[in-house]
Amino acid sequence: MMRSCESDPNDEACLRHLAKSLEDPNRSLQNWIEKNLEKPCNDSLSNLQGATCNNGRILRLSLNNLSLRGTISPFLSNCTYLQSLDLSSNALTGPIPPDIQSLVNLAVLNLSSNQLQGQIPPQLTMCAYLNVIDLHDNLLTGPIPQQLGLLVRLSTFDVSNNRLSGPIPPSLSNRTGTLPRFNATSFLGNKDLYGYPLPPIKTRGLSVLAIVGIGLGSGLASLVLSFTGVCIWLKVTEHKMALDEGKISQLMPDY
């Protein structure tokens, strides 16, 4: 009789810390109890909601759309066999831990539709098998690490609707044939992000011609007002002089 595979202690530590870092208001992870955390896998069967096992190791974590709160534990890096991590559509906060770089088998990283903050860690480049990075609809800031362009297997990349800034790395936007590696939809919704394949930044406010026109108009109006004022002053002065001349002529005797 074949003996069942023992759970890996690294996976146990990974999942214990993850359970502590998460809040579960809907009790979606109610079977994440100590007994099951001690042995999360029975060969290829999982004892935990959202976990998939293979040969006694955690292969996938799919904890999406469970209204989870809290942060992403850096101890996720202990799940070194992990190939897919999906924590999307929750209410997670805090940074993306750079420790994820230790997940050398990771192919899918989906942290979209949360409230994650901070910068995208360039250490993700160490996950050489990544073919999906989905971080859209978060509160991420700073530049897109240009090192991510070195991920040659990357086929899906979405950082739209964040607060990213700076230029889009050419390594993520270079053309393959007639198409860019990733199109504009991957980058939209970051008001301070710029560069191909996003459309050129439109001039905000009035156009230069409009501004010049207003300037010329203002100058012309000022000139007209000034000229009108001078004309009125001359008229008044002329009238006063005429009156004075009339008074003088009345005082002078006739010869």
**HEC profile of the chain:** CCCCCCCCHHHHHHHHHHHHHEECCCCCCCCCCHHHHHCCEECCEECCCCEEEECCEEEEEECCCCCCEECCCHHHHHCCCCCEEECCCCEECCCCCHHHHHCCCCCEEECCCCCCCCCCCHHHHHCCCCCEEECCCCCCEECCCHHHHHCCCCCEEECCCCEEEEECCHHHHCEECCEECCCHHHCCCCCEEECCCCCCCCCCCCCHHHHHHHHHHHHHHHHHHHHHHHHHHHHHHHHHHHHHHHHHHHHCCCC
Q: How far is CA 74 from the centre of its chain?
A: 22
Residue 173: the pLDDT is 86
CATH of domain 9-202: 3.80.10.10
Residue 222: the pLDDT is 44
Q: Are 122 and 147 in contact (CB under 8 A)?
A: yes
Tokens of 109: 């990283």
Residue 1: the pLDDT is 38
The Cα 161–Cα 46 span in angstroms is 35
Residue 201: the pLDDT is 73
Burial classification of residue 194, based on how many CB atoms lie within 10 Å of its CB (0-12 exposed, 13-18 middle, 19 or more buried): middle
CB atoms within 10 A of CB 184: 14
Q: pLDDT means per 10 residues in the chain (255 residues)?
A: 64 96 96 94 91 95 98 97 98 98 97 98 97 98 96 96 96 70 95 93 49 41 45 53 45 40
Single-letter code of the amino acid located at 226: S
User: Model's pTM, two decimal places?
Assistant: 0.77
Residue 44: the pLDDT is 87
The Cα 155–Cα 137 span in angstroms is 19
Burial classification of residue 17, based on how many CB atoms lie within 10 Å of its CB (0-12 exposed, 13-18 middle, 19 or more buried): middle
Q: How far is CA 203 from the centre of its chain?
A: 22
